[in-house]
Amino acid sequence: METTFSRERLLFEQSQCNEINHIDVQQFVNRLSKLAEIGKTETGGISRFPYTDEYEEVTNLFKSWIQTAGLEVREDAIGNIIAKYEGQNPDLPVVMTGSHLDTVPNGGAFDGVLGCLSSLTAIESYIKENKRPLRSIELVVFVDEEGSRFNHGLFGSRAIVGEVSEKDLAKYSDDAGISLIDAMKKQGYNPEDISSVYRNINDIHAFLELHIEQGKILEYENKDIGVVTGIVGLTRRTFTFYGSTDHAGSTPMNMRKDTVAAAAELISGVEKLPSNFSDTAVATVGKMNVYPNGTNVIAGKTEVTVDMRDISEDTIVKLEEAITELANKIARERSLELDIQSGDIISPVLMAEEIKQMIKDSSEQHQLSYREMPSGAGHDAMNMGRYVPTGMIFVPSHEGKSHSPREWTSLSDCLNGIQVLKETLYQLASR
């Protein structure tokens, strides 16, 4: 049987401790469990898409917790939630922290949620400790991070940094044909005021996000904390081999121009190439179209799309060149025609060195092990990181499962992350 989110499992893990370092563990468990109930699916996952009643329910609940903590909370014109814990000098640029509360279809209980809850929990613990940093801390819940409904993710953060115009908004609609603008209006937002969402970048000192790893590395290496080096860049290239469509029975092996065989050669080559360039580079063929795609037909045309990612743009370019060279060689040797379509390169976004160091120092202070690692997935920190010094903290994902009802991070791993976030955030707001 598959295990999905369960409050009982968390309570079991809660053991004896109700409070560590002014972090209210029981409250954290209760909140995580409550959020997991909203948008719950039959298979134990969660579906919470932006500008729906489920999303309104989850944000209302979260806003009520912010208010209980004594912070003023506002929503901008498109639904980003922003709350401020005022610092000793409210005129200084603020430190922002937070994540998202929307999910992929049938997603998990930790993706995004953990970051939002952790940021709030950290602020509440400063309040308990009567600690007020120099700079104000702004808690932010970005709207529509996943892009599940309008196929346009990282939306809230993109708008905050000023990269969404009113014209852009008009481009998107969901599968039911409801436009993004109508969906926003229905929930009471004002898309025509999009420019009021833009923040003056000079008013933001830094951004920090805690997130689950969504991969297996931390668990596999038994490390508590991932110090994110950056969010990988990516590009895609589609290689189309043209050969000859012939009968699978009557065409001898030496008289074929088989494009599937060429594609197979390319795919197995793609698997071997990334390690020639870096430890972090990855290349994947997840999509292939075979024409005419019949069991008894030698395919005359096959399209192979290669997705290439790394933390270094230079590596992405070199990898792309090597894969292209391989495809050309295969086509030449097999006397096939080859067409190549290149996608744009989305540049990697590096995290700030000094924030990485603060995350390491905070981990050491709490006797937590850590390793540096890139994030293969996109996050709002990617948009923020292009404009302001940004840091990301990862905590382990059990079996690397994410975007699935089986997503799980143990309570102790969640608490480790909260401690490191709490410490790092305070340091950032104190400098």
Nearest in space to 186 (alpha carbons), one of 62, 50, 47 = 50
What is residue 304's three-state secondary structure?
Answer: strand
DSSP type of residue 37: H
Q: Which is nearer to Zn ion, 141 or 330 (CB)?
A: 141
Is position 417 an interface residue for Zn ion (rule: CB under 5 A)? no
**At closest approach, how far in Å is the CB of 293 from Zn ion?**
35
Candidate residues 52, 73, 102, 111; the one interacting with Zn ion per rule CB under 5 A: 111
**At closest approach, how far in Å is the CB of 393 from Zn ion?**
13
CA-to-CA separations, 378 to 149, 204, 219, 332, in angstroms, rounded:
17, 21, 20, 37
Is position 380 an interface residue for Zn ion (rule: CB under 5 A)? no
**At closest approach, how far in Å is the CB of 211 from Zn ion?**
6
Is position 213 an interface residue for Zn ion (rule: CB under 5 A)? no
Interactions with Zn ion, residue window 154-183 (CB under 5 A): none
**At closest approach, how far in Å is the CB of 312 from Zn ion?**
23
Site size with Zn ion, rule: CB under 5 A: 2
> Taking a C-beta distance cutoff of 8 angstroms, is the pair 266, 239 a contact?
yes
Is position 124 an interface residue for Zn ion (rule: CB under 5 A)? no
**At closest approach, how far in Å is the CB of 379 from Zn ion?**
6
Binding window for Zn ion (CB under 5 A); candidates: 106-114, 164-172, 269-277, 396-404: 106-114
Block residue for tokens 């950032």: 428
Say how far apart CA 28 and CA 122 lie, in whole Å.
11
Structure tokens at 103: 């999910």
Say how far apart CA 50 and CA 45 lie, in whole Å.
17
> Taking a C-beta distance cutoff of 8 angstroms, is the pair 30, 10 a contact?
no
> Taking a C-beta distance cutoff of 8 angstroms, is the pair 7, 33 a contact?
yes
Binding window for Zn ion (CB under 5 A); candidates: 56-64, 111-119, 241-249, 279-287: 111-119
Candidate residues 87, 112, 300, 348; the one interacting with Zn ion per rule CB under 5 A: 112
Binding window for Zn ion (CB under 5 A); candidates: 39-47, 57-65, 112-120, 283-291: 112-120
Binding window for Zn ion (CB under 5 A); candidates: 51-59, 104-112, 120-128, 301-309: 104-112
Task: Show Cβ contacts of residue 188 under 8 Å, excluding neighbours closer than 6 positions.
Answer: none
Q: Which is nearer to Zn ion, 112 or 396 (CB)?
A: 112
**At closest approach, how far in Å is the CB of 380 from Zn ion?**
8
For the chain, the residue count is 431
Burial of 51 (0-12, 13-18, 19+ CB in 10 A): buried
* Chain positions contacting Zn ion, by CB under 5 A: 111-112
